[in-house]
Chain A
Amino acid sequence: MTAATASVPGDRPRRGGYALSGVALRGVVCATPGAPVDNAVIAKTLGDQAVADVVKMIGVEARHWAAPDQTSADLCCVAAQRLLERLDWAPDSVDALIFVTQTPDHPLPASACLLHGRLGLATDCQAFDVNLGCSGYVYGLWLAATLIQSGCHRVLLLAGETSSRLVDPTDRGTAVLFGDAGSASAIEHDPNAPTMHFRMGTDGTGAGALIVPQGGFRAVDPDRAFTIDPSRLHMDGGEVFSFTLREVPKLVAATLADAGLEGEAVDAYLLHQANRFMLRHIGKKIGATDDQRLPINIERYGNTSSATIPLLLADDMAQRLTAGSARLMLVGFGVGLSWGAVLADFGPLACAEVISA
């Protein structure tokens, strides 16, 4: 592992960039719950005009919502079972399970432990949860890659969310935007795998821009006036948008610099599907404007938090990645505020598919 550093005049050396080798992504399966829910269903609560105004910007035409008895772990479990079967990985060959979610089954134990049991993994397999959202898939890949470099042979990365449980159905900013999905990715040691360039960052001073104020162990500020239920997701769209425009182009440029590449050398940028308008705007800034280099699927799935990037891999990129390899930059950004990017040649994958759960 080598840390990529670049001097900034009068500042400490820039950190946060890392190059890892010997790690390969073998396959990705995503699971979406039930039938797609179209905007007409939400318009019954919010009204046609309110929904139309939001949709014009965010671009979501349909999304999937989990059934009342269906959790993120359920969606990821279905995806993981299919993935293990497709790759012909015996459950006891998995050395580690990472579950990225903000909608776990219980406050404790970690849902990763429950998934470990359901998937029949071996008792010498480690399992843990990671509480991250929009940046979570890149962090998950980073953790999986570091585990592989530390001696693990096979790692299962599960990332999923049921944000439909967190949004206030009367808040048009979030009710239309979010969708539910689970994903499973298989990561394996491979001495011949190309180098992966990771770069991660955090701005905790912006934590309030995306928050569920109530439900943890800190009492809610009694002086704060909430316009929606404090146990529901609060999103300051303007703040999130400015943060994204400030950090993501820098992140993309720094990751390219780490790898010594120009932007044209990247076959496709898989950006967290936050909002169509924002994606197109960032696309212009980073020089990726067509759907081959900037695939967008938010119209079909909504913003599924940590599952958006695996959905791009398993849906839009499935043919390109099962037939051959592609140089991709995966970029996650949002709740935290937290961000991360990984640039590498991915594929060929043994499987990339979206199934129904």
Chain B
Amino acid sequence: MQTLYAGLAEIFEIDTSEVGPDTVLADHNWDSLAIVSTIALVDEICSELLDGAALGECVTVSDIVALIPQARAA
């Protein structure tokens, strides 16, 4: 999970400590570029390809985590 948070922090251009399950995506420019970066990030960490449209509907970081099967299982 820390790897995911660190990656998201890089995408949002904020400190890793500022990223948690309740982080609101809309506060950090959650646009198509951020979505594409997140698809690549999750693919790299757990070889899981997230759906762009589903990511677009996420509100918080926990919504993203919920899309990742390995994360759900853990």
Contact = CB atoms under 8 A, between A and B. Distances in A.
A239 B52 contact: yes
Interface string A49-70: 0000110010000000000000
B66 interface: no
Given A237-B36, A238-B39, A246 B49 contact: yes
B49 A237 contact: no
The secondary-structure label for the interface of chain A is: helix
A238 to B, nearest CB: 2
A122 interface: no
Contacts, number: 46
Interface string B9-47: 000000000000000000000001101110110011000
The secondary-structure label for the interface of chain B is: helix
A241 interface: yes
Contacts of B73: none
Contact of B35 (A53, A238, A277, A278): A238
A310 to B, nearest CB: 26
A57 B52 contact: no
B40 A281 contact: yes
B56 interface: yes
Contacts of A241: 36, 39-40, 52
A190 interface: no
A334 interface: no
A245 B43 contact: yes
Contacts of B43: 245, 281
A181 to B, nearest CB: 24
Contacts of A242: 39, 49-52
A74 B50 CA distance: 41
Contacts of B53: 238-239
A57 B49 contact: no
A281 B44 contact: yes
Nearest to A285: B43
A174 to B, nearest CB: 11
Nearest to A280: B40
B4 interface: no
Interface in A43-91: 53-54, 57
A57 B51 contact: no
B55 interface: yes
Contact of A173 (B32, B37, B50): B32
A245 B40 contact: yes
A238 B37 CA distance: 9
A236 interface: yes
Nearest to A53: B33
Interface in A262-306: 277-278, 281, 284
A246 B47 CA distance: 10
B33 A57 contact: yes
Given A237-B35, A239-B53, A281-B44, 11 more contacts: A54-B33, A57-B33, A236-B32, A237-B33, A238-B35, A238-B39, A242-B51, A242-B52, A245-B40, A246-B49, A281-B43
16 contacts: A53-B33, A57-B36, A57-B37, A236-B52, A237-B33, A237-B35, A238-B39, A238-B56, A241-B52, A242-B39, A242-B49, A245-B39, A245-B40, A245-B49, A246-B49, A278-B40
Interface of B: 32-33, 35-37, 39-40, 43-44, 49-53, 55-56
Interface of A: 53-54, 57, 173, 236-239, 241-242, 245-246, 277-278, 281, 284
